[in-house]
Structures are given as structure tokens and as C-alpha cells.
A and B are shown apart, each in its own frame.
Chain A
């Protein structure tokens, strides 16, 4: 109080001198600014940090560290409660400063140490305590963060595992889509043709055993045995798969029906794995059905629906041989159809869901199959011709992988055919001989 009186009584020059002595910036003391400057001088004399605090803010506002350090230098004098606001602010800065400089590693210690250290600093300024507690909470928060950081790797480790878990399932879900790849399709196609040929050969053997007994593949008897054994007890897998087949085969069969009335029924019978096992048809008929089903069931894929269509065309091409058997398939069909449905409903509800999906798929598959069937129908003339020719004359080579497309006729055969056709049309041989003679004549004339 005495100081303040003294300051008020001082002249401007004296006041300025005292300010400089206090380490305050040399600011001209004017009548207008005197009040403010006296206030600051009083603050600096009485306690402390105010003078240091203000210059810091003017110099660079955002750096709080340096002024805090300066304040720390003043601190030993002790803070007075009378300088309330400013001192609190300064102590605040100090505490922040101190905590910032403390290494982050020793945080648990810091939390304990701060309250211990705090009282000497904050005793004068009681408001500093809550701030410190806040700081402590901050540190706690940081610890939590550390824990999170520790936990994160675990999460990261877990994440990869989940996709892995899913991955094995996904193929199952997407298996249908995967099946649509061209290679698969081609394989199916080839297999279908193979099966059809097997079937055909088997039929031929039944009808005329003397015709192609030697050309059967070695596996054939084994497979037939398997089929005969396995057919009575159908594999659930096999039964699930043929469902789409049944959906697709019907339209397909319808498309084929215009040409061959016998075909559709037979193809349907072939499409179902079920029928042969359940049908009480005569032995020969059952056999035919079994063999036809073997052609499709051996593959166990939904493309067998498509597969069955070629087989029908194939069989129908030689339908004259065993139209009776096909008819038998027709007769056996309706009963088995009912059987299968009853079985499915009885056995599992999951199958129904799958059946819906299958039905939905069957739209696509049906379209695809019908498209294919049309194309095949367009090409059917060469194909049937080929098969008929094979049946009549040279026979088949089951070893070679075939598709239904006529392009896959061996190159030599194509070339031969081309030569033959050209020869037929233009009489190349005679022309060639003629040209040779002309050339010889020309050479003779030229050299002599």
C-alpha cells in the first residue's frame, strides 16, 4: 500500500526509471498511459509474473513455454494472493510448463508426484489445484490411450482372422458363380459329351453288343458298377444339385421337343438323379435311366442341366436305336418326380430355401441353356451328321476331348474334307495335271 502511494506520487520520469529497474520494457510514461503503467509496475513490484506475462503475449502469443520459464524464475519470491488473477494465470502456466517438460514415460509417477509438488506452488493460489487435478486426469487419459495402443495390435491381429474364417465359407456361397467360368463350362461340356458317348456306347452294346464292344473306355465297367451300387442310395449332394437341373431341363426339353418327341422325357429322366433309384420300371428301362443319370450325376454340377441337353440331342440322333428305352424313361418319369418332391419336403427345409435359390438361378440357367440349345440346334446338322457318321462307320474315339462345336473337328479331317469338296467342285486334280503339262511344255519351249 505504501508502494502504491509512492508510485502515484512519482513523476513520469521517475516512474519510468523504476519500471526499467524492475525489468519492465522502457515505455514512455505519459499522462494518458500513466495509470496503466503504474498498475503494471505495482503488479511487478508486489509480486511477480504480471510484467513477464504481458511482454510474452505481445512478443509471440502462441508460445507459452518461454514466459512460463521466466515466471518460474520469479516464482521463488512467492506468489501473493493479492495479485489474484495474474498470479493465478502465471502459476497456471508454470504448472503446465512443468508437466509438459516432464517426460511422458514416467506418467504414473508424475501423477503421484504432482500433488506432492503442487502444494508449495499452489498453496498461495488455490485455483491452481483443480487445474493440476485436471492435468492428472489428462495423464490418466493418456494412460488409457497407451492401453488402447496396446490393445490395438490385438484387434489388428483379430481382423485378419475373421476374413479368413469367412473365406472358406464364401467359396461355398459363391460356388455357383465360380462354376460359371469358361474352363469349368468347357470341362462340363466335354464331360457331358463323354458321358453321352459312354451312354451311347452302352446303349449300342445293349442293342447290338457286337458293334462297339472294344471301344469302351476301361473305366466304364467300374463306373457302371458304381452306379448300380450307389443309385439305390442317392447321395444327398447329388440330389441337391440336380434340382436346378430339373428346372432347366424342362424348357430345354421343350425346345427339343419339336424335333424329337421322345427326347424331353428322357432328358428329364436323365436330369433327375432320383428317378432311376425309385422307379419300379422294368429292368431294361431302369438300366437306361440309370445310365443316363450316371451321365449327369457323375459330374454333380448344375451345368449338367445344360449337359443333359446335348446328351438328349445326342441320344435322339440315334434315337432309332433305343427309342423304346426313352419311352420307358417317359413312363417311369412321373412317379419318380413325385417321389423326389416328397423326399425333399420330408428331408430338410434347407433344401427348400436352396430350391428357391435354385429356381431363381434356373431362370438364368434356363435362358443360357436355351440359348445354347438354339445354337446347337443351328449347328445340329453337322453335329448330328457327324455322330450319325460315327455311328454308321468309323465309330468314336472317346479318348479325345470333344465339345459340341463343329470347329473342334480335327484339323486333318477338316483339311481332307475341304480338299474333297474342292476337288468335287472344281476338279482340281485334272486342272493340276493340266497345269503341269502346260508348264512342262512352256519350259521345253523356253530352253530349246
Chain B
């Protein structure tokens, strides 16, 4: 938590619109491909899952690991990204 990445700040800076999942922090090409395969092709779908899990960090991270085999760091990055975005825009 020493600092946020450029990807994180970029994503949190504006409404996500129709951004692809790969715009989310902690999600690169590989994870993005897996998520897309699982049906989560847009960032807002991941946001939807995040909201359905009621912003529960544990659950969301578990879900991330389950769906796209994300590492703990990737999962937490994605969670922080969505959490900050939702705090900003919801």
C-alpha cells in the first residue's frame, strides 16, 4: 500500500464507461483473457460482481482467485481499484 500505480490512478480518475477489464488495476493480458472467457469482458461486469459480493474484500478476492487464478496481489490491486472507484463515483 505504499502507493498506487499509474493504472490505478487512471482508472479511479474517471467513470469507467465501457472500458475493458484490462483497464482494471492488477489485471493484465492474461487475467483479462481468463475473465473474458468467464464472461467478464468489461470492467463494469467485474464491478457488478464486486457489488454483488457487497464489496466484501475477502469474498471478492476469493472470487478473483477462483475465476481467473489471480494472485493475492493482483486480487487486492483489483479490489482496491474498484473500491476506490466506487467510493468516488457511487
Contacts and interface: CB of A to CB of B under 8 A. Distances in A.
B59 to A, nearest CB: 5
A28 B58 contact: no
B13 interface: no
Interface in A27-41: 27-28, 30, 32-33, 35-37, 39-40
Contacts of A35: 63, 66
Nearest to B51: A28
Given A32-B63, A33-B63, A39-B62, A27 B57 contact: no
Given A32-B67, A36-B62, A57 B53 contact: no
A37 B49 contact: no
A54 interface: yes
A237 to B, nearest CB: 70
B56 to A, nearest CB: 5
B56 A27 contact: yes
Interface in A218-253: none
A52 to B, nearest CB: 11
Given A32-B49, A33-B49, A36-B53, A57 B58 contact: yes
Contacts of B57: 54, 57-58
B49 A40 contact: no
A57 B56 CA distance: 8
Nearest to A32: B49
Contact of A33 (B38, B52, B55, B58): B52
Contacts of A27: 52-54, 56, 59
Given A32-B49, A32-B67, A33-B49, A58 B55 contact: yes
A28 B49 CA distance: 10
Contact of B56 (A30, A32, A39, A58): A58
A301 B76 CA distance: 81
Interface in B37-77: 38-40, 49, 52-59, 62-63, 66-67
Contacts of B66: 35-36
A30 B45 CA distance: 13
Nearest to A61: B57
Interface string B14-54: 00000000000000000000000011100000000100111
Contacts of B59: 27, 33, 36-37, 40, 54
Contacts of A54: 56-59
Nearest to B39: A32
B37 to A, nearest CB: 13
A36 B52 CA distance: 12
A33 B62 CA distance: 10
Nearest to B61: A36
Name the residue in B49, B63, B67 with the highest tally of chain A Cβ atoms < 10 Å from its Cβ.
B63
A49 to B, nearest CB: 12
A433 to B, nearest CB: 103
A25 B67 contact: no
Contact of A36 (B39, B40, B55, B63): B63
B63 A55 contact: no
A37 B62 CA distance: 9
A39 B56 CA distance: 14
Contacts of A39: 62
A25 B56 contact: yes
B58 A58 contact: yes
A53 to B, nearest CB: 8
A225 B80 CA distance: 100
Closest 8 CB pairs of A and B: A54-B58, A36-B62, A36-B63, A58-B56, A35-B66, A58-B57, A36-B59, A27-B54
Given A30-B52, A40-B59, 11 more contacts: A27-B54, A27-B59, A32-B49, A33-B53, A33-B63, A35-B66, A36-B62, A40-B62, A54-B56, A58-B54, A58-B56
22 contacts: A27-B52, A27-B53, A27-B54, A32-B38, A32-B40, A32-B49, A32-B52, A33-B49, A35-B63, A35-B66, A36-B53, A36-B59, A36-B62, A36-B66, A39-B62, A54-B56, A54-B57, A54-B58, A54-B59, A55-B56, A57-B58, A58-B55
